[in-house]
Structure 1
Amino acid sequence: MIVELSARSKEVFRQIVDAYVATGEPVGSRTIARRLEEQVSPATIRNVMADLEEAGLLYAPHTSAGRLPTEAGLRLYVDGLLEVGNLTEEERHAIESQCAVRGRSIEAVLGDASDALSALSRYAGIVTAPTNDRPFRHIEFVPLSPGRALVIVVGDNGLVENRVIDVPLGMPVSTLIEAGNYLTARLSGRSFAEARARIVEEIEQHRTQLDALTEKVIKAGLATWSGDGDGRGSGFLIVRGHAKLLDDVTNLADLERIRTLFEMLEARQSILRLVELTQSAKGVQIFIGSENQLFGMSGCSMIVAPYRAGTEGGRGASVVGAIGVIGPTRMNYARIIPLVDYTARVVSRLLGAPDTETRR
């Protein structure tokens, strides 16, 4: 569609979207006349805007108002007219220092990355990841307090995951050690999915010499790696700063749409779909409004990029999740796209993947 627009139409349309992103208000012909470098009368601009509206790129929210870009118009702008900016050194440093501050726990790295994106974009930062299906190297149970233990799992790439589980009161440390040794022997070199069925079958058919307490610990450890005990194994979602989406709410209808979005996020709907959308992607993906079912009713867009994890020794890398920003459709795409891109690269590097520059 972009090739069908004249140079003047492209520039008028670009200025309309830029003004809309800055203010969130309908844009009139006089505003555009002041923004254009060449001398163009408001009447001429109104004619151009009428043509853009007929092409489905603009719409009038009410009679005698200025114009706003449609979702199709925003897609045209993002794909063909947007000039993506560059990050400042301060922004790069903020992302790197925030993500690295808590060490190598996967949940900590991803949580920090989501926090960093939310703070810098002033919208909601989102991270998705599937249930870990990489081969394990080692698993260990560490007592924390009466009735609580820490499960430490080391993957084949050296990354560490920590989760807290409930255990029977008064359980001796020797039982935790036995449970860790049992799982390590059966999980080592295998993914969780590969090993879980075998372990459950052994326990249920009493083909292994385990006392009742040790068996309880092992089952608790298995449950926490099956989707936090719900058996779904569908992965997890981290959303930080989602209340910032309320900053642009101007009426009750907008508030209801955002509330619906919050409910969907809390229910973890479309998590796997978001991850799947990035599996074959080489760089940043942009979903505007109804292009994604998750945001179709909320008036939001999502800018998301895949992040990768390397194998032991850095011999390769594969996509393991997605990271990005959720914001209003009028978000500053030129600024947020490089933020998401760079954060995904930093996370990938921390998870052992080679640092390669991504492209849209």
Structure 2
Amino acid sequence: MITELNQRSRDIFRQIVEAYVETGEPVGSRTLSRRLGIALSPATIRNVMADLEELGLLKAPHTSAGRVPTDVGLRLFVNGLLEVGDLSDDERESIDAQCAASGRSLPEALEEATTMLSGLSSCAGLVMAPKTDRPLKHIEFVNLQPGRALVVLVTEDGLVENRVVEVPMGIPSSVLQMASNYLNARVVGRTLAEARTRLQAEAEEQRTQLDELTRRVVDTGMATWAGSRSSGVLIVRGQAKLLDDVSALSDLERIRSLFEALETRDAMMRLLEATGQAEGVQIFIGAENNLFSHAGCSLIVSPYTNGKDQIVGAIGVIGPTRINYARIIPMVDYTAKVISRMIG
């Protein structure tokens, strides 16, 4: 569609998007006239704006005389008109320092990198930690409500993961405690794969002293972990940054929708995993993804790799659709490359 716009329309459209990114406010013909610095009458500018609106690139919020870009318009801008900036030396040094893994576990280093990205971008930072099979320290079943229990798994390096599992209705807490005790006696110091191997061997040799109900709980918990750990772990930091500029998200209802999306961890994980299907920075704008289509937000994310150039995770930021794409895209890209070097 960008080829359908003449140079005047491109210039006006670019100025509208850049002004909107800066202020979050609708852009009118008077503002555009000042920004363009060329002799165009307000009437001419309004005509071009009307044409851009007809193409679906702009919209008029409420009764405002100004215009803001639509999600389609932002996508067109990012793909065809955006001039991506470069990081300053200070920003590069800050990212390098925060990603340094000296004396820290990988999860801790990733948390630091995510917090750093949130601070530099004024957005929420998120990272999908790589699939791991670290030695385990503790596993526990916690009763939530009839028919549901929480399985908590802690690795030796302090990574905590939770999963909700279905359990028989009316199961007593003593059964969950027995299942926890049974597993802890066998998993501590072993990876999940090693623990599963031992449990399977015991079952085949019929050496287990568990009753049928406890056995079902143990099997359910282990099956849940076996099917879920391929996705890695989602870490989100800096959600409060999204409250700093309410106008950027239109209203509190949109903020609430975004917070709910961030808590929908399985869906967020699937979205981040999709970045592994393409190289480099991926950008999801507003309604392009139904996970946060009602929250008026964009996600900028990039995969990172291990020493074998295999994609093992992804890191990025999520914020209002008017985030500073030119600044944040290279920031996310550089952070992902630093993490790749750190892991390699």
Same structural fold, with TM-score higher than 0.5 when normalized by the shorter chain: yes
Would the aligned equivalents of 2:130 and 2:313 in 1 still touch at CA under 8 Å?
A: yes
**CA deviation string 1:310-336 (max 9, x = no partner):** 2xxxxx221111110111001110011
Cα distance change, pair 58–140 in 1 and its aligned pair in 2 (3 A): closer
2:145 is matched with which residue?
none
Q: Confirm whether residue 279 of structure 1 aligns to residue 272 of structure 2.
A: no
Cα distance change, pair 162–64 in 1 and its aligned pair in 2 (3 A): closer
**CA deviation string 1:86-132 (max 9, x = no partner):** 00010011111112165351211210110110010011001123542
Structure 1 unpaired stretches of 5+ = 143-148, 153-160, 213-218, 311-315, 353-360
Q: How does 1:151-166 map to 2 (within 5 A)?
A: 151-152=155-156, 161-163=157-159
TM-superposed deviation, 1:266: 2.2
Cα distance change, pair 52–91 in 1 and its aligned pair in 2 (3 A): same
Q: Confirm whether residue 26 of structure 1 aligns to residue 26 of structure 2.
A: yes
Equivalents in 1 of 2:80, 2:333: separation in Å? 18
Specify the code of the residue in structure 2 equivalent to 1:303.
I
TM-score normalised by the chain length of structure 2: 0.78
1:299 is matched with which residue?
296
Cα distance change, pair 341–67 in 1 and its aligned pair in 2 (3 A): same
Give the match's secondary structure for 1:16: helix
Equivalents in 2 of 1:140, 1:26: separation in Å? 53
Between 333-342 and 96-105, report the one with greater CA deviation.
Answer: 96-105
Give the match's secondary structure for 1:301: strand
Q: Residue 259 of structure 2: which of 258, 262, 277 is its match?
A: 262
Cα distance change, pair 14–350 in 1 and its aligned pair in 2 (3 A): same
Q: How does 1:19-98 map to 2 (within 5 A)?
A: 19-63=19-63, 65-98=65-98
What do you get for the CA RMSD once the two structures are aligned? 3.5
Equivalents in 1 of 2:28, 2:337: separation in Å? 40
Give the match's secondary structure for 2:279: coil
Q: Confirm whether residue 342 of structure 1 aligns to residue 339 of structure 2.
A: no
Give the match's secondary structure for 2:46: helix
The structure that is helix-richer by fraction is 2
1:358 is matched with which residue?
none
Equivalents in 2 of 1:266, 1:240: separation in Å? 12
Would the aligned equivalents of 1:163 and 1:224 in 2 still touch at CA under 8 Å?
A: no
Cα distance change, pair 82–250 in 1 and its aligned pair in 2 (3 A): closer
Specify the code of the residue in structure 1 equivalent to 2:85.
G
**CA deviation string 1:327-346 (max 9, x = no partner):** 10011100110110011111
Give the match's secondary structure for 1:295: coil
Between 316-325 and 197-206, report the one with greater CA deviation.
Answer: 197-206
Would the aligned equivalents of 1:95 and 1:116 in 2 still touch at CA under 8 Å?
A: yes
Would the aligned equivalents of 1:131 and 1:225 in 2 still touch at CA under 8 Å?
A: no
1:107 is matched with which residue?
107
Q: How does 1:301-340 map to 2 (within 5 A)?
A: 301-310=298-307, 316-340=308-332
Equivalents in 2 of 1:251, 1:112: separation in Å? 26
Give the match's secondary structure for 1:274: helix
2:166 is matched with which residue?
none
Specify the code of the residue in structure 1 equivalent to 2:71.
E
Would the aligned equivalents of 2:24 and 2:247 in 1 still touch at CA under 8 Å?
A: no
Q: Confirm whether residue 117 of structure 1 aligns to residue 117 of structure 2.
A: yes
Specify the code of the residue in structure 2 equivalent to 1:320.
V
Give the match's secondary structure for 1:111: helix
**CA deviation string 1:273-300 (max 9, x = no partner):** 2233111221001100011122111111
Specify the code of the residue in structure 2 equivalent to 1:124.
A
Q: Confirm whether residue 240 of structure 1 aligns to residue 232 of structure 2.
A: no
Would the aligned equivalents of 1:87 and 1:339 in 2 still touch at CA under 8 Å?
A: yes
Equivalents in 2 of 1:179, 1:273: separation in Å? 28
Give the match's secondary structure for 1:85: coil
Cα distance change, pair 346–180 in 1 and its aligned pair in 2 (3 A): same
Specify the code of the residue in structure 2 equivalent to 1:41.
S
TM-superposed deviation, 1:58: 0.5
Specify the code of the residue in structure 1 equivalent to 2:27.
V
Give the percent of matched residue pairs that are identical in Structure 1 and Structure 2.
Answer: 55
1:355 is matched with which residue?
none
Q: Residue 287 of structure 2: which of 271, 287, 290 is its match?
A: 290
Equivalents in 2 of 1:73, 1:141: separation in Å? 50
Give the match's secondary structure for 1:94: helix
| Residue-pair matches, total | 306
**CA deviation string 1:248-294 (max 9, x = no partner):** 22499721221122123223141332233111221001100011122
Equivalents in 1 of 2:120, 2:248: separation in Å? 26
Would the aligned equivalents of 1:140 and 1:180 in 2 still touch at CA under 8 Å?
A: yes
Would the aligned equivalents of 2:58 and 2:67 in 1 still touch at CA under 8 Å?
A: yes
TM-superposed deviation, 1:223: 6.6
